[in-house]
Amino acid sequence: MGDVPLSHPRYNSLMGRKLLTDAASDGLLADSALIAHGRGEAYDYLLGEKTCNSARQAISQAAIMMQNAESCVISVNGNTVALAADELIRCAAILQCPIEVNIYYRTDERMDALNSRLEKVKGEVSHCEAPSNWAGDWQKAVESVVILGAKPSGKIPNLEGPRANCCTDGILGADVIFVPLEDGDRCEALIAMGKKVIVVDLNPLSRTARMATITIVDELRRMAPLLLLDLINIDDLSPVKWNNEKNLDNSLAVMLSKLEN
């Protein structure tokens, strides 16, 4: 793909594309992962490649839900690790919650590659400066983030095959799951377990988007720093009575106006 200059008007989109193709070369992704990313690109194009107001509201309410959870977990797949491993490790450090690798097309090779990548990025993030406005021992906070998934100890009920495998210390025991880029079947199964599920999905019409407790219709790399910001400045946020369907319709309206103009 070549280098992308920072001045390029579509820098973020092209960088995302590069992170994904690099991750594919590194064996982090299933065959169809790049196709899924492309679908996201198309919807993001319709969003104007910007975080819309309804997404911004969803991020804040997600931060409140994650902070107030009894037991929160961040569930990641290959695309999520490729795009936002660093920011999500920061979020987990602030929440002191685990990150669980939970992938659709599960192979030992990909699980190993994803775990290694997360441990490597965790090491890097622990040596970075703490996010501004956060007080505490940053290195210690990051180092204490547990990466789960390699040794699943249970299964998500009503879901066939290896994609159901997960950990009792993570997804199975959590009341709030932040799972960007989730599959519709698994989202449905988690909701059926009574869990609060927060997803990031650029397609407001998808089954995942319609099923989730809170759907953030935004690009993952763009929303992750905003989630981090809200998790740190949680005292500035006010919970609202959440109407996910109405919020999705507001995101749809942004896409409609792009198509109409």
Q: Which residues bind a copy of itself (CB under 8 A)?
A: 1, 17, 20-21, 24-25, 31-32, 34-43, 45, 203, 205, 252, 255-256, 259-260
* Nearer to a copy of itself among residue 168 and residue 257 (C-beta): 257
CB of 74 to a copy of itself, least distance (A): 24
Q: How far apart are CB 128 and a copy of itself at their closest, in Å?
A: 29
State the minimum distance, in angstroms, from the CB of residue 22 to a copy of itself. Answer: 9
DSSP-assigned states of every residue in 138-150: HHHHHHT--EE-S
Minimum distance, C-beta of residue 2 to a copy of itself, in the bound complex (Å) = 9
Distance CA 113, CA 150 (A): 11
Please report which helix (H) or strand (E) contains residue 25, including its range. helix 11-25
**Rounded Cα distance, 58 and 247, in Å:** 8
Output the six-digit token pair for 122. 């965790």
Whether 165 contacts 103, CB under 8 Å: no
User: Of 61 and 203, which has the nearer Cβ to a copy of itself?
Assistant: 203
* CB-nearer residue toward a copy of itself: 20 or 214: 20
d(Cα 122, Cα 134) in Å, to the nearest integer?
Answer: 18
Phi-psi region of 136 (alpha: psi -120 to 50; beta: other; left: phi over 0): left
Residue number, 61 or 165, with CB nearest to a copy of itself: 165
Integer angstrom CA distances of residue 98 from 91, 124, 146: 10, 17, 5
Between residues 34 and 193, which has the closer beta carbon with respect to a copy of itself?
A: 34
Instruction: State which residue, 214 or 254, has the beta carbon closest to a copy of itself.
Output: 254
Cβ of residue 118: shortest distance to a copy of itself, in angstroms? 23
**Least distance from C-beta 163 to a copy of itself, angstroms?**
12
What is the smallest separation between the CB atom of 39 and a copy of itself, expressed in angstroms?
A: 4
Tokens of 171: 């997804």
Residue (69 or 220) nearer to a copy of itself, CB: 220
- If you write DSSP's letter for every residue of 91-103 in order, what string do you get? HHHHHT--EEE--
With 0-12 CB in 10 A as exposed, 13-18 as middle and 19+ as buried, what is 92? buried
